Amino acid sequence: MATKDLREGRLDLKTYKARIQERVAYRMRTKQLPVDGVGERLTCPAAGPAPLVKCANKPESEKPRPTRQADGHVTDARPRILPLSDISVANKPRVCDQELVAVSPVDGAKFRQSLPYGSDQHADLFNTLHQSQEGLHGFAKDEAHEALAATGKRRVRGKAAQSVFAAFLLAAASIRKIRTFLANAIEDSGGVIYVPRKQRKGDHARTGLPPGVGPPETAAAKMINLTAHTSRSRRSGPSACPQTAGDGRFSLR
């Protein structure tokens, strides 16, 4: 829900990141990586001699564990897991009765990822790869060179033939990319060649935002959107439809 609320403007970025961070305490912990056909061994955060959370399904975790907080106050500030009714004490899953459970690499493989979604590490890596991929698309679509998007330059029938032509164009774009890199690269003291990164500005600036989230609106843009929304909400029926003025502009009657 946190990601959905952020995308729909019900959360600010600071609150969203705080909610994502709160999930860490409830995450299953890895005790052993897959070995000899045995799946990864995971343990509940409420298990073990030093549980990170409290849970009624793990009675040992309910024992008080007061620790000194940042403000000097001594208390048990661990969060609590609230099991759903279908996994209560009378119908506990295996992970609640055992210290460890083996999870196959194919279990939940569709939703597994090394970096937690919404974390700063995930956003940085996603944005880097996404911008690199989109940049290469624009590079190959340059009409002064390969013009990959110009279908008129590949007037052949059939998906196979189109794929062959596209492969040649992408190969040419890759060669041009390498030549551009070598022409602009410099060498550091260790003998490594690289191209200094340019600071992106405007619409191309790095945002560090999670996938699917646009840059935050400015105060002026928010006021314009609010005014437009208020104006539309006061109108109803055909008169609320935009009409074209004589000079080609749109207006509301």
* 86-100, 157-171, 223-237: which is most confident: 157-171
Q: What is the 3-state secondary structure (H, E, C) of 160-226?
A: HHHHHHHHHHHHHHHHHHHHHHHHHCEECCCCCEECCCCCCCHHHCCCCCCCCCCCCCCHHHHHHHH
Same domain, 132 and 69: no
Q: Is the pTM of this model over 0.75?
A: no
Closest CA to 45 of 21, 75, 81, 76: 81
Q: State yes or no: pLDDT of 126 exceeds 60.
A: yes
pLDDT tens sequence across 175-191 = 999 999 999 999 999 98
Interatomic CA distance for residues 160 and 138, integer angstroms: 23
Is residue 213 assigned to a domain?
no
The total of structural domains in the chain comes to: 3
Question: What is the rounded average pLDDT of the residues 218-242?
Answer: 48
Is residue 186 assigned to a domain?
yes
Question: Helix, strand or coil for residue 151?
Answer: helix
The predicted pLDDT at position 145 comes to: 94
Is residue 223 assigned to a domain?
yes
Q: State yes or no: pLDDT of 194 exceeds 80.
A: yes
Interatomic CA distance for residues 144 and 197, integer angstroms: 24
The predicted pLDDT at position 57 comes to: 87
Q: In which band, very low, low, confident or very high, does the pLDDT at 253 lie, cut at 50, 70 and 90?
A: very low
What's the domain range around 49?
28-111
